[in-house]
Amino acid sequence: MALHGLACWAGRFTPTLSVLPPATLLLEISGCLRLFGGAAQIVEQALAGCAEQSFTVAWAAGPTPLGVFWLASANAGVVYQKLPDLQVALTALPCQVAGWPDETLARLGAFGLKNLGDLRKLPAAGLRRRLGNAPMDDLARAWGELPHPQRAFIFPEVFLQKIELPARVEHAEALAFAAQRLFSALLGWLQARQLLVRACTLELTHDDGSHTDLPLRFAEPTADELRFSRLLREHLGRLQLSAPVAALSLHADEVLGKPGESAPLFDQAVAGEGALLCLERLRARLGQDAVQVLAQRPDYRPECATHSQAIDEKMTAFSPSTVTIKGARPLWLLPAPQALAEVAGRPSWHGRLSLLSSAERLESGWWDEGENQATGDVRRDYFVARNPLGQWVWIFRDAQAWYLHGLFA
């Protein structure tokens, strides 16, 4: 299970890799060298990622699969760019590194052969009669003289990974480190399959056998590992565990294909975290229903023209509307119109108000007249006005009096 999880994680480097149980991954990186800037950079990033996941790695890189497997078994830790360099390094390896049967190794010892270089110096035909074809074929594959195709690892259609925790975890915040391994595997799987994730679920298995599902929903499809962990920490910060956690599993619930796009010639850093990421964090911290947006209604009455609603899947801030407003509208609308005093027949609010616009007649709402808590039919003349303090307000007059309805920023 751990090896397959690591294989999914390695999908961030190449979609072509092989799993060699019990503990070996073979990555074919020749097609990805220019993308990462060379084999040394890929190795450096791979080793750093393995260290973050607490894996100890013995490695080697070179032109032939079996050759680098033998060198990695000997913990060579070197990148061999050219085949002759790889062959020179192989000559110094002991014969035991090939993993041949004990009987074969005993015969090699009886012949006085201690390393692969000594074996290569002897006639191949005679060795085949004495040792069989398998060791000599292995030697030819390692030296690049015979092709050595590998069985490719097939990335699963659905991402579902599980890890057992080394110790029971009693505090939710402590789960972030273990979950990072699952997110790393998810990111590699997404990159290998050219997908983005919109929603996933982290399942917590408690030591009493119960389960807790922690849904993670992103404001937009993403494949950003930092974004995964940041959203998880927001959820864990307000999660109370019912019992200690023994295992974690991660399931990608909603994925979609990554759209093709061209990278900019000059990358530019984005100022701040952006509106979508901010909304994503607020929903994680306050709850899905606590963050809403203002949407329009096709109604001319100001107090009926907008309403709050949950953020939809496309994160659009406003719903379509058939009402076109041409007059000025304030940023802040009062919950209910406030009656104004009149001085010499003119409205007053912190001083006498000066009218700055002509009247805008709003007459509408006959359809809900008499309904419970409905605004009903209104007939109002709206004005933009200003008081002696320089404050701009939105006022109206109906058949009874003057009212303050909104404040301009």
What's the start-to-end Cα distance of the chain, in Å? 59
What's the pLDDT at 322? 45
Quick: pLDDT tens for 339-383. 999 988 889 999 999 999 988 888 887 777 767 767 778 889 999
What's the pLDDT at 368? 78
Q: Do residues 107 and 132 lie in contact, with contact meaning Cβ atoms separated by under 8 Å?
A: no
Amino acid symbol at 1: M
SS3 category, 268: coil
- What is each CA distance from 20 to 77, 156, 184, 187, 348, in whole angstroms? 19, 17, 21, 22, 84
CB count in 10 Å sphere of residue 130? 12
**Residues contacting residue 360 through CB under 8 Å, at least 6 positions apart:** 327, 381, 382, 383
What is the chain's mean pLDDT, rounded?
Answer: 88
Quick: pLDDT tens for 296-323. 777 777 887 777 777 665 544 444 444 4
DSSP letter string over 43-79?
HHHHHHHHHHTT------B-S-HHHHHHHHHTT---B
For the domain bounded by 160-258+273-283, which CATH number is listed?
A: 3.30.1490.100
What are the start and end residues of each CATH 3.30.1490.100 domain in the chain? 160-258+273-283
Distance of alpha carbon 277 from alpha carbon 220, whole angstroms: 8
Weakest-pLDDT range from 129-133, 220-224, 250-254, 284-288: 284-288
